[in-house]
């Protein structure tokens, strides 16, 4: 496939087109992934989440620049679960795209509307494409609302949770459960008052409530000046190295892949299997049997599943 070859050569326009295809759940997108997913797996995938306004984009930019200067090829996927827009058409993206064009960093935003089968499926597919295209570092950025941060944690090797000393982020974070997915915490805007206090509170929360996470590194950053960013990158590197040593890195990839496979299977059921003409006829006949009192809904549903896959 010509498009697949162009993606493998790392051409940005081919990559952009390929991501659109997988985003829509199009058959061409799946054919592409069948070719390209086996070529993925080399890139490190870092998830980055936090409340709106905490400085995620700035941190992603700084991290991207840092790694690029070290010779890495960086790709960014910005996931906005609250936006109906998709495909890199946002103003913020255009600004970032300009910077990206100068620096060979590929930036893509994805939004939930119009994504078939869930943002998580599409995000992981897009990460595979970036990976196959030769990107060595993939940053997955999402605003921490609802489920999106859980999804990012299933797509990433390492998750950085960002908080700021402002506006009760810490309390919110403890209540929302986002700390449970944190492999590292970055307290951004550390120059504002309250960063030490927040660090102390988080430390206490990890010690008391989340003992399995009591060694989570907490870093202080000022993304808008770049202060603390090399230390954050270093902490990620150290964590990854330790996990590769212990086997935890591969273990997490496996468990992420397991949940990905289940989600894809459910997506295939919803799109391919239920939508075939045969299946529609069978579902309708089953509905009639249940309404006639001949069978129970659970018995019928089980049978439908079996028939759909025969």
Query: Interface residues with its own copies (CB under 8 A)?
Result: 30, 33-35, 37-39, 41, 124-125, 128, 250, 253-255, 257-258, 260-262, 264-270, 273-274, 283-284, 286-288, 290-291, 293-302, 304-306, 308-309
CB of 112 to its own copies, least distance (A): 13
Tokens 């999106």 sit on residue: 148
What value does the CA radius of gyration of the chain take, rounded to a whole number of Å?
A: 22
CB of 154 to its own copies, least distance (A): 12
CB of 226 to its own copies, least distance (A): 35
CA distance 284 to 156: 41
CB of 233 to its own copies, least distance (A): 25
The residue (of 145 and 290) whose beta carbon lies closer to its own copies is 290
CB of 275 to its own copies, least distance (A): 10
CA–CA distances in Å: residue 301 to residues 263, 274, 298: 19, 12, 5
Strand pairing partners for 107? 76
The residue (of 91 and 298) whose beta carbon lies closer to its own copies is 298
The dihedral of CA 274, 277, 278, 282: what is its sign?
Answer: positive
Chain CA centroid to CA 207, Å: 27
The residue (of 124 and 164) whose beta carbon lies closer to its own copies is 124
The residue (of 172 and 296) whose beta carbon lies closer to its own copies is 296
DSSP label at 189?
Answer: S
3-state secondary structure of 184: strand
């Amino acid at each position: 496939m010509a498009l697949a070859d162009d993606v493998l050569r790392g051409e940005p326009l081919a990559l952009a087109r390929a991501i659109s295809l997988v985003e829509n759940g199009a058959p061409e997108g799946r054919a592409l992934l069948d070719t390209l997913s086996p070529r993925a797996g080399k890139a490190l995938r870092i998830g980055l989440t936090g409340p709106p306004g905490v400085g995620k984009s700035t941190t992603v930019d700084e991290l991207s620049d840092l790694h690029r200067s070290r010779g890495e090829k960086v790709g960014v996927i910005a996931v906005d679960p609250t936006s109906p827009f998709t495909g890199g058409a946002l103003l913020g993206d255009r600004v970032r795209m300009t910077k990206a064009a100068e620096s060979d960093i590929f930036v893509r935003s994805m939004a939930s509307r119009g994504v078939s089968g869930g943002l998580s499926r599409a995000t992981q597919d897009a990460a595979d494409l970036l990976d196959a295209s030769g990107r060595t570092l993939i940053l997955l950025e999402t605003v921490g609302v609802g489920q999106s941060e859980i999804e990012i944690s299933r797509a990433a090797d390492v998750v950085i949770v960002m908080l700021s000393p402002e506006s009760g982020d810490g309390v919110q974070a403890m209540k929302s459960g986002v700390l449970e997915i944190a492999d590292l915490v970055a307290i951004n805007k550390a120059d504002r008052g309250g960063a030490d206090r927040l660090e102390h509170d988080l430390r206490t929360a990890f010690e008391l409530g989340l003992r399995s996470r009591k060694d989570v590194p907490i870093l202080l950053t000022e993304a808008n000046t770049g202060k603390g960013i090399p230390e954050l990158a270093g902490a990620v590197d150290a964590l990854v190295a330790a996990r590769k040593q212990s086997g935890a890195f591969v273990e997490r990839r496996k468990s992420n892949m397991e949940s990905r496979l289940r989600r894809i299977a459910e997506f295939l059921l919803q799109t391919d299997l239920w939508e075939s003409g045969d299946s529609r006829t069978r579902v309708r006949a089953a509905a009639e049997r249940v309404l006639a009192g001949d069978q129970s809904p659970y018995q019928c549903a089980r049978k439908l599943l079996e028939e759909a896959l025969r």
